[in-house]
């Protein structure tokens, strides 16, 4: 068996693989919300409760991907369900690529300015890299169209706007707070890049959508 079989459509579409990835992502999602627990509580105490939705960026991305896997296992049978599936798939791709790259970039940017990395940081590097990679692998199985992708990009840009307007962006390594405008710009540009990547893979990655 060629090693390339491990990222082929045939292998990735196996129900056993989908279930394995679903379990891993659900566990990661739960852990992510626990990780953000302190910041979510702080947001409720010092901000507005509606802002909490925009705080746990990475676990929400993982939640979208988990839902996308579940909908691959149990495809909807009506138009409304199919449109919902497309939107969830587009959100899964855009947010997983965006926050997967973003978290790794922030960790190493903090290290470059003197932050000392702990084992948790390396765990986050591995898990967030996996987020981006799995999204780009599984996009070949997804069915979203440009309308759903546009909505996913709009939602992610809204998330960015709320994050940096109300200060509910993910807590950063200490040295990066002096570079907040640059972090904000990088975040917006990364959303656009992730949307573009989602479009490229939609157009060229899935032969059924050509």
pLDDT tens across the length of the chain (210 residues):
566 666 677 888 899 999 999 999 999 999 999 999 999 999 999 889 999 999 999 999 999 999 999 999 999 999 999 999 999 999 999 999 999 999 999 999 999 999 889 999 999 999 999 999 999 999 999 999 999 999 999 999 999 999 999 999 999 999 999 999 999 999 999 999 999 999 998 877 655 544
* CB-neighbour burial class of residue 9 (10 A; exposed 0-12, middle 13-18, buried 19+): middle
Question: What is the helix (H) or strand (E) element at residue 152, kind and residue range?
Answer: helix 146-166
pLDDT at 1: 58
Q: 79 near 143, Cβ under 8 Å?
A: no
Return d(Cα 57, Cα 156) in angstroms, integer: 10
Residue 7 is predicted with a pLDDT of 65
- pLDDT for 47 equals 83
> Can you spell out the DSSP letters for 81-111?
HHHHHHHHHHHHHHHHHHHHHHHHHHHHHHH
């Amino acid at each position: 068996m060629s090693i390339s079989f491990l990222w082929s459509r045939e292998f990735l579409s196996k129900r056993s693989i989908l279930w394995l990835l679903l379990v891993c992502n659900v566990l990661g999602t739960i852990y992510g919300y626990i990780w953000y627990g302190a910041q979510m509580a702080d947001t409720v105490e010092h901000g507005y409760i509606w802002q909490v939705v925009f705080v746990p960026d990475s676990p929400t991305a993982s939640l979208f991907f988990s839902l996308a896997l579940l909908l691959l296992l149990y495809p909807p049978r009506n138009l409304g369900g199919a449109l919902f599936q497309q939107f969830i798939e587009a959100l899964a791709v855009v947010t997983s690529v965006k926050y997967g790259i973003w978290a790794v970039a922030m960790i190493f940017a903090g290290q470059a300015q003197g932050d000392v990395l702990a084992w948790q940081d390396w765990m986050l590097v591995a898990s967030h890299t996996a987020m981006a990679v799995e999204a780009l692998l599984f996009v070949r199985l997804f069915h979203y169209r440009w309308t759903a992708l546009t909505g996913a990009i709009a939602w992610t840009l809204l998330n960015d706007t709320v994050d940096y307007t109300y200060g509910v962006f993910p807590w950063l390594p200490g040295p990066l707070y002096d570079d907040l405008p640059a972090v904000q710009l990088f975040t917006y540009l990364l959303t656009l890049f992730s949307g573009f990547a989602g479009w490229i893979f939609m157009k060229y990655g899935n032969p059924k959508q050509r």
